[in-house]
Structure 1
């Protein structure tokens, strides 16, 4: 039960709550800004709901009045029943991380856990929803589209959060919802990984199973060819040195061949010279004949001189011949040695050429080994990626089977709770009936889906803003009653008057009368904000409306 709301903020007068229907009236000013004259700023009816939410542990979001500069020192207090007795919560803007309960300071996590247990019976264990997730259904914020959908308290709310919160508030199996949520979250993560794997990450993409198989087979064939080449490969030690030696031997062989050509030429010249010397000396008798024909008689002295010259000449020729013979012998001997050396060099070169032709360099062998290692690495990578694809496929199948099993379990659970569900559905339908009669058949169905429980509140006929607003009103009222009866919710429900913006006075009057009657029957409080002129119109429709005026405030929203 709510008792009193106080606040130290310009334009905020505080509120005293009573039983049943509580109304906060927002007075519209005749002149814009006049209501705020002298007060610096005036809080509107939406701000009233946000202050209550702030005292129940909400964060101060953008657009909250407490974010304004003139609210920097604001402090609020709320007295309400906690654990069966009135206690006062105090929270200030200057220290958003703490709150006080009857003077005892608590850090925000502890404070929220405290309220969760006191108002919703949350123990903070198992698969229970968080306190703030369930509290948001009791204090919807229009600023975050809190009235856009009955099952969501803000746009694009996580499905698991809504299903857990509603399952708890409607006294269903939250453990079953959590299991379904885990499967769906795993499936969602798997889909995100698949999507990410289609893009290049660190130079690789995951690929499809068939493509990976084809690439693996191709690389395996390539590997077999490389392995066979390596198996037949003979590594020649000091391959580079052998190649250099072969080149050196080839140069030496060419040099020796060139030298032999020169030497053989010299030998031939010597042999020719020796051959010419063997032809003998010129006969000096022809000189005597010449002189005799000239009637000249040579004296004996001249004859002796000829003999001496001939002897000297013979000596010179003999010496020359001996020299040429010796030179020819030397050259022949050198030639023989060179030819032996040439033969030895040629044999060495031939052996090295045979060795090189039969094998290869160690560098070449190492390169083949490196290629094989690269291919092995690529095969290992593709095999691992193929295994990931297989695991994903198997995981997907497992998730599908598990999801189907859980859907059956949800169906079975709903079947076991059919009496409880029927009570909820009748309650919701009765609320809608009091608003629309038999013109718009209504139902709140809770269906079994692979996502868990699906809540489908409907009010039949053509849908418009008014009907959507009344659908949410009936849904929240049904939820609050169900949760209170199960010990899963507090005995109050707060609605911002923006919920009724699209409804006429007759429909708003019907909704407020319904809330008043339900609160009287269930021992609850329903708090709503409403413009003064709208309340006047409602009272013309329902003069007997039983309500408590808990606060009047000027309206800026």
Structure 2
């Protein structure tokens, strides 16, 4: 329990607490105007101060690191497992706490912070670790998604500004479902490691399914083309590697490859030129042969007939002269034939020469082309090597991505099998812990029955995602009923977790919890809280606004001595009437 909270801030109002129910009241004085609200009185700051002194609240936004407060030290005296301690901390040295042993001993703790001393300085993180070990039995490292001191402690000192009063099962609005399942399973005594493993499994399945979905939808196209055709792509790529490998093995480098290539091109041009010349010469031969056939002189009779047909009769003398002309003409024709025959012989001889040249050049060109075909240039060899390297790299990429897709598919299947195993483990855990579940259900119902004629129900049941905690109370959509769900749930935790010695020994409720609740239900809640605290031996601390306490004539349970539970300080909304004794923002 907490005995007192003090500070070296001169205006700070010390908080004096005792066992059982403690009520800290903030009065709204008659002279207060509408602009002066009780939110300035520091009731919620008291909860922040408790968190600060257990090693939380250390970031730059902390209330206790504001310039108005950071130079002052705040202290809390409380007992913990056989030792009365005083923990002191200031915003100026927020990373450290001074721990004093006032009474008792810490020697029996799993880890003794005092080591025979009466005072020690402890790092903030180490102090939280130590409190987690002593208060909740938390080992040093429970792994990712495992329970933490801050997570568990916040169920017993809920803070409205963090959304801690919005839902019974969540101590903060941003608390994740997995965190809820792990924390509550730990406090109630269920196998919390199932929820821890289930959350890790959920993350793994989500990641694997996302990768699988990206692959199936073609997200790897920029790397391997269409993933649906990856086997075909790999087969064709391997075939290309084999082709290039065979080509390189058979490759012989010709050092003067470029010269031989030039020679081959020159021979080809020569052969083309000779072929053109041979064709032209053959045309010439054909023309010569036609000319030889047409070179014959006309006869005298033909000439006479010609003249007769023209109507001219030639005299004998003329015919004699014509005969001389004919003989001269025959001489000319004979000479032309001799010339044509000589040209024909020369042309045919040239054709034979061309054929011989073509045959020789073609033979040489064949030799050069055969050499070029069976050998290659160094540059070509280098190019082939580069192509082979690229082809091999592409094959390796395809293989890796094929393996990736296969591994992902296998991983998803394995994770789903593991998910089924965890579901079976959870079922067995619920069966083995039926007594724990029974205690929780009955404890919640008892608290709810004290407030309502139609009590609410707490259901705890296994699901694929882990244990589910569901609460049903008539009118649960009402703000007031929601607050009472939180109240009943916390009372259940104090009974069930307290039975396992898994509480800090105190429970703190801010006035915001009771704001939306009518006076009758509030009074019933305080009576039940006081009774349960006395029965189980824990300390129940609540902060209230003065107008939340019903007047004597409006009391629904007049026999409950509510004023006997009010403890100092008495706060007000007037200047200097708050917890810190001055207003600041």
Q: TM-score, structure 1 length as denominator?
A: 0.75
Contact 2:131–2:149 under 8 Å retained in 1: yes
Per-residue CA deviations over 1:189-224 (Å, capped at 9, x if unaligned) read 4345456768999984688xxx53524314523553
Evaluate the alpha carbon distance shift between residue 550 and residue 203 of structure 1 in structure 2; reply closer, same or farther with a 3 A threshold. farther
Per-residue CA deviations over 1:314-359 (Å, capped at 9, x if unaligned) read xxxxxxxxxxxxxxxxxxxxxxxxx999987765444213433566
Evaluate the alpha carbon distance shift between residue 465 and residue 35 of structure 1 in structure 2; reply closer, same or farther with a 3 A threshold. closer
Contact 1:76–1:90 under 8 Å retained in 2: yes
Corresponding residue for 2:84? 86
Offset at 1:366?
Answer: 4.6
Match of 1:484 among 479, 495, 498: 498
Question: 1:206 and 1:363 mapped to 2: Cα distance?
Answer: 29
Offset at 1:240?
Answer: 2.0
Corresponding residue for 1:324? none
Equivalent residues in 2 for 1:76-225, closer than 5 Å: 76-102=74-100, 103-126=119-142, 129-191=147-209, 193-194=211-212, 204=222, 211-221=226-236, 223-224=238-239
Offset at 1:243?
Answer: 1.1
Unaligned runs of 5+ in 1: 258-338
Question: 1:204 and 1:221 mapped to 2: Cα distance?
Answer: 18
Evaluate the alpha carbon distance shift between residue 537 and residue 398 of structure 1 in structure 2; reply closer, same or farther with a 3 A threshold. farther
Evaluate the alpha carbon distance shift between residue 89 and residue 426 of structure 1 in structure 2; reply closer, same or farther with a 3 A threshold. same
Q: TM-score, structure 2 length as denominator?
A: 0.71
Evaluate the alpha carbon distance shift between residue 247 and residue 195 of structure 1 in structure 2; reply closer, same or farther with a 3 A threshold. closer
Offset at 1:225?
Answer: 5.7
**Does residue 390 of structure 2 align to residue 374 of structure 1?**
yes
Once superposed, what is the RMSD of the aligned Cα atoms?
A: 3.8
Evaluate the alpha carbon distance shift between residue 550 and residue 189 of structure 1 in structure 2; reply closer, same or farther with a 3 A threshold. farther
Which has the larger displacement, 415-424 or 153-162? 153-162
SS in 1 for 2:470: strand
Offset at 1:17?
Answer: 0.6
**Higher radius of gyration, 1 or 2:** 1
Evaluate the alpha carbon distance shift between residue 65 and residue 237 of structure 1 in structure 2; reply closer, same or farther with a 3 A threshold. closer
SS in 2 for 1:69: coil
Evaluate the alpha carbon distance shift between residue 223 and residue 496 of structure 1 in structure 2; reply closer, same or farther with a 3 A threshold. same
**Does residue 413 of structure 2 align to residue 397 of structure 1?**
yes
Offset at 1:67?
Answer: 3.9
Corresponding residue for 1:493? 507
Match of 2:468 among 443, 454, 468: 454
Question: 1:460 and 1:171 mapped to 2: Cα distance?
Answer: 28
Corresponding residue for 2:13? 13
Corresponding residue for 2:437? 421
Offset at 1:232?
Answer: 6.5
Offset at 1:491?
Answer: 1.6
SS in 2 for 1:86: strand
Match of 1:519 among 510, 533, 543: 533
Contact 2:230–2:402 under 8 Å retained in 1: no
Offset at 1:96?
Answer: 0.9
Per-residue CA deviations over 1:465-484 (Å, capped at 9, x if unaligned) read 11111111111111122112
Question: 2:87 and 2:550 mapped to 1: Cα distance?
Answer: 34
Equivalent residues in 2 for 1:464-483, closer than 5 Å: 464-483=478-497
Offset at 1:184?
Answer: 2.4
Evaluate the alpha carbon distance shift between residue 256 and residue 415 of structure 1 in structure 2; reply closer, same or farther with a 3 A threshold. closer
Question: 1:406 and 1:140 mapped to 2: Cα distance?
Answer: 31
Question: 1:475 and 1:517 mapped to 2: Cα distance?
Answer: 16
Per-residue CA deviations over 1:160-203 (Å, capped at 9, x if unaligned) read 32222111211222233333333223223434545676899998
Question: 1:227 and 1:198 mapped to 2: Cα distance?
Answer: 29
SS in 2 for 1:398: helix
- Residue-pair matches, total: 473
**Does residue 430 of structure 2 align to residue 432 of structure 1?**
no
Corresponding residue for 1:246? 264
Evaluate the alpha carbon distance shift between residue 23 and residue 196 of structure 1 in structure 2; reply closer, same or farther with a 3 A threshold. farther
Contact 2:157–2:509 under 8 Å retained in 1: yes
Question: 1:23 and 1:31 mapped to 2: Cα distance?
Answer: 25
Evaluate the alpha carbon distance shift between residue 145 and residue 359 of structure 1 in structure 2; reply closer, same or farther with a 3 A threshold. same
Question: 2:11 and 2:478 mapped to 1: Cα distance?
Answer: 36
